Amino acid sequence: MENSSPLLHADALIAEFQARGLFKDATPGLAAHLATPRTIYCGFDPTADSLHIGSLVPLLALRRLQLAGHRVIILVGGATGMIGDPSFKAAERKLLDAATLAHNVAGIQAQVTKLFADVPAGPLGKPLVLNNADWTQGVGVLEFLRDIGKHFSVNQMIARDSVKSRLERDDAGMSFTEFSYALLQAFDFHEMFRNEDLKCSVQIGASDQWGNMTAGTELIRKKLRGEAHVLTLPLLLKADGTKFGKSESGTVWLDAAKTSPYAFYQFWLNTSDADVEDYLKRFSFADYSKIEQLLAQHNQNPSHRLAQQSLAAELTKLVHGHEANERAWNLSINLFDNNVHAFSEEDFIQLSQEGGLPAAKSGSLALIDALILTELVTSKREARDFLKQGAIQHNGVVVTDEALELTPANAKYEKYHLLKRGKKQFALLVHG
C-alpha cells in the first residue's frame, strides 16, 4: 500500500506478477502500455449469487493492479451470464432464468463492492463495478451482427483450443448461442474501450480465457484501430492435481452466509505443504521478501504450519474483516487445541455465535436425530455407519452407542452438546 505512487514501474510490476505465479501470457507490448495509468478489467459470470475462492485469484490480481496505480473494473456478466461461456467446457450448459440471474448479479455486485471498498483511488479513480447488461441489452440483433459479427472469422473461431474438444466429440455439440459467447465478451471490451469515461484498454483473466480476451483486442484493433492488451493468469491447481477451491463441505464461497468465516479460515489452514508456497505468493499482499522469509521459517518445522496460519489469517481478514478473523482463529484454537472438558460456558457461547459452527436448537433428542438436524450426516443409516466406525464424538468422547439420548443431563452446562464427525466437522446443539 505504501507505493501508491502514480509513477508506474511497469517492468517491475510484471516481474512481480511473474514471480508470484500470476503471469501466464500477455499480448506483446503490455509492459510499455502499463507505464502510464490504465483502466483494467476482468469479467465474472454470475453463475451463483456469490463468487467463490476460485475467483479470488483474478480479484486479488485486480487489487494489486489498482494498488499499483491503475484503475480496475470488476465486470459482472449480467449479459454474458445469459449465454454461458463454452471455453473448455465438456458439454452445453443449462441456461439460467432471468430472475435467478438478476439475483446473482446483485449478489456479486454487492460482494465485490465490499471487497474493494478499502482500496484507495488511484490517479484514474476508484475501482468500478459494472454490469455488461447495461450496454448489451439494448443492442439489436441486426445491428450486432452487422457491426460486430462481421469482424469475426468463423474459420478462426472453430480453430480455437477452447472449443475444439467440443467440436470433436461425438456425444456433445455446441449451440450457436454458446459459440457466440466470445463475440459478446469482445463486445464488452470494445464498449469499455471506446467509452470516454472508461477508456479501458487491458483485460485480465484466467488462462482459459485467452481466446475470448484476444477476440476483444482484435475487435478493438479492427474496428477502432485501438491498442488493447490482455494478461492471463495461470490456472491454479493443487499439487495432487485436483481442483483448487473445494473443501470437505464443498465449494468455498466468499459469502459468509454460504461459507462461514470459520470454514473459510479452516480451508486455508488446511492447505498442504506442497501448495502453501504457491498460495502465499499468489494471494498474500505481503512483500515478496517477507513471504520468502516466512517460507524459510515454515520449512524448518512444517508441522507448526506457520505458513498456513499466516495465509489463513490474511485472507480471512481481507474477505471477512478483522473481527471475523479473530473469531475464526479463536474458534479454531478452541476446537482443535483445547479439551472440550475444559471449555468454559463463555467458550460455548462463543462457539454458538455467528460466523462459527453450524448450530441447532432443540429439546432433548436422540443422538442420531441430532446428527441429522445439524447436518453432520444425511441419513440415519449414515449416522449408524459413522457411529460404528467410531467417527462420532460427543463433547470430546467417542460415541458408539446408537441409542444415546442428548438431554440436559449429559450436556455441558446443561445446555451444550458439541458434536464432531471425523476429524474436522463440528456442530453444536443447544438446548432451549
Q: Residue 123 CB: number of other CB atoms within 10 A?
A: 14
Residue nearer to RNA on the CB measure, 139 or 366: 366
Quick note: the x/- pattern for RNA over 344-383, rule CB under 7 A, is ----------------------------------xxxxx-
Q: How far is the CB of 179 from RNA (least distance, A)?
A: 11
Per CB under 7 A, 88 contacts RNA: no
Contact 216, 41 (CB under 8 A): no
Among 2, 98, 171, 342, binds RNA (CB under 7 A): 171
Cβ distance 17 to 24 under 8 Å? Answer: no
The Cα 76–Cα 127 span in angstroms is: 13
Minimum gap (Å) between residue 230 Cβ and RNA = 29
Does 310 bind RNA (CB under 7 A)? Our answer is no
Stretch 254-283 residues interacting with RNA (CB under 7 A): 266, 269-274
Give the shortest CB-277-to-RNA separation in angstroms. 12
Residue 172 lies near RNA (rule: CB under 7 A): yes
- For 344, phi and psi rounded to 5 degrees? -85, 165
Q: How far is the CB of 144 from RNA (least distance, A)?
A: 23
Rounded-to-integer distance, Cα 331 and Cα 356, Å: 7
Least distance in Å: CB of 316 to RNA? 12
Stretch that binds RNA, among 18-26, 117-125, 318-326, 423-431 (CB under 7 A): 423-431
Q: Quick one: which segment of 125-133, 136-144, 386-394, 405-413 binds RNA (CB under 7 A)?
A: 386-394
> Strands 39-44, 25-26: parallel, antiparallel or unpaired by DSSP?
unpaired
3-state secondary structure at position 244: coil
CA–CA separation, 273 and 300 (whole Å): 12
Closest CA to 83 of 8, 174, 203: 174
Interface stretch with RNA, choices 109-117, 185-193, 287-295, 389-397 (CB under 7 A): 389-397
Reference 201, options 109, 71, 57, 25; nearest CA is 71
Looking at the Cβ atoms of 155 and 303, the one nearer to RNA is: 303
Q: What is d(CA 214, CA 234) in angstroms, rounded to the nearest whole number?
A: 16
Q: Is 151 an interacting residue with respect to RNA (CB under 7 A)? A: no
Contacts to RNA from residues 9-48, by CB under 7 A: none
Is 422 an interacting residue with respect to RNA (CB under 7 A)? yes
The pattern of x and - marking residues 222 through 261 that bind RNA according to CB under 7 A reads ------------------x-x---xxx-------------
C-alpha 395 chain-centroid distance: 34
Nearer to RNA, 61 or 280 (CB): 280
Q: Which sign does the torsion angle of CA 21, 22, 27, 29 carry?
A: negative
What string of H, E and C letters represents the secondary structure of 131-161?
Answer: ECHHHHCCCCHHHHHHHCHHHCCHHHHHHCH
- Which residues lie near RNA (CB under 7 A)? 92, 170-175, 240, 242, 246-248, 266, 269-274, 302-303, 305, 308, 332-333, 335-337, 378-382, 385-386, 389-391, 421-425
